[in-house]
Amino acid sequence: MRRRALISVSDKSGVVDFARRLSSLGFEIISTGGTARALEGGGVPVIPVSRVTGEPEILGGRVKTLHPKIHGGILADRRREEHLRQLEERGIAPLELVCIDLYPFERAVAGGAGEDEAVEQIDIGGPAMLRAAAKNFRSVVVVPGPGFYEEVLSGLESGGVPEETRRRLAAAAFRRTALYDAAIARWMAGEEEFPGVLVRGYRKALPLRYGENPHQRAAYYAEEGSSSHLLSGVVRLQGKDLSFNNLYDVDAARSLLASLGEEPAAVIVKHANPCGAAVGASIEEAYRKALDSDRVSAFGGIVALNREVDGALAREISGVFTEVLAAPGFTPEAREVFSERAAMVLLEAGPLETPRLSAKYVTGGMLLQESDAVGEEDASGYRTVAGQPPPEKTVRDLLLAWRVAARVKSNAIVLARDGGTVGIGAGQMSRVDAARIAVEKAGERCRGAVAASDAFFPFADGVEVLVGAGVVAVIQPGGSKRDAEVVEAAKRRGMTMVFTGRRHFLH
């Protein structure tokens, strides 16, 4: 009896050559529909599935492989005499290889398919055959996509596919069906954001140099089907392989940059906290102001810009040790300048789209929440509760500080002046300590600066630290039991205070 292989794929790339080489190894090829036509067109002999089953395709192709003569051939364990005997009694030939990919459901949905079209792209027979072949991997080689063709052919041409490889292929097949079902489940659930069972699939997008520390291995996984994950459309132009910390900081930098609006803007991040952020009339001005915010902390930092980098700016940036630079483009002159900093990572990256949901992993589980979109609250609801309503220039600095504070680890105090941060107090257990650090970082630049606090002041002491250093205005959510005391301290010292009514903790 000749060896038999079943091939039925939506992605036809490479399939004719794959089938031709199988045929040369003595395989009969069983196939369906478009795959059969493609193979016949390539000169590969094909046995239609309907000839094997003795039944035509029905229901517009919904039923064609769901038949004992197909699944019996796939699921028969050829190590068991009773299985072989039952196949012989029923005239079923065993299948040695099953090559299946699935209807392109994910692509159809991403392309805006309507409900009826999307439903027709939900594959039933394909996943059933993949799972059956994967279950019976000791008797059947499962091939879950074109990426495995050459490996399988090399094994067959060398005398047989080893069991270790068969098991790995089976695992790949089960991963494929799991991701496929997850995509369908998400689509069926529609806009349900917090379902009783959360089904998500993640695919390894990038091996990382190491984790938070060099002894920790790491990799970056992107959510399956997402078109807007951290590295979507990002091109690494030069530099070392990325590490866990690099990507975590790049996310922090690009997320803050996305909230700063359409003006030329620059962000410098260190250990997931911004140490500088600014807007300016030009990208050069924005970068200089961001760097001046805290030149010491910027050493070894991550820089994100929202404008193309030219040669002059490249020379400025090259003068500061920078781990990663992300920007929407680089001129040829800039590329030449950076080529002298071979270890520095250059990422060509456009705007980052903020996801609807964000997650934090905890031991054995995950915390899921709506993403915090700073600035989406109606600014007309902001209230000046102390001092005079701030002039336009002060408002601009207050809003900049407010946006940055939302991307600084809590407790956070951010000082800003003239379109750039001048002092940032991050990640403190008490708000007054965050205020002291921000003031210390800013030094004399506190005079005439404004401040933002990511949450309310529980006591007046934080405000006293700021106003004592020369800060003229502060923006904060309000909502403390001691708001009256805090507002009174601001009034007494001639400080303008604005309440927003919304907190922006970042843990």
Cβ atoms < 10 Å from Cβ of 160 = 11
Catalytic status, residue 12: no
Number of helical H runs and strand E runs in the chain = 19, 21
Starting at the edge strand found earlier in the chain, the sheet holding 383-386 runs 235-238, 345-348, 322-327, 301-305, 265-270, 273-279, 420-425, 413-417, 450-453, 473-476, 496-499, 383-386
Q: Quick one: tokens of 206?
A: 């990038």
Q: Which of 83, 135, 240, 491 is catalytic?
A: 135
Q: Which of 12, 69, 240, 271 is catalytic?
A: 271
Residue closest to 70 by CA, chosen among 102, 92, 91: 92
Cα distance between residue 307 and residue 287, in whole Å: 11
Q: Quick one: tokens of 380?
A: 């007309």
Q: Please tell me whether residue 356 adopts helix, strand or coil conformation.
A: coil
Most distant CA atoms of the chain, gap in Å: 98
Q: Are 321 and 210 in contact (CB under 8 A)?
A: no
Cα distance between residue 414 and residue 421, in whole Å: 7
Catalytic status, residue 135: yes
Q: Using a CB cutoff of 8 Å and minimum separation of 24, what contacts does 22-26 make?
A: 22/97, 22/153, 22/156, 25/156, 25/157, 26/2
Catalytic residues: 135, 271
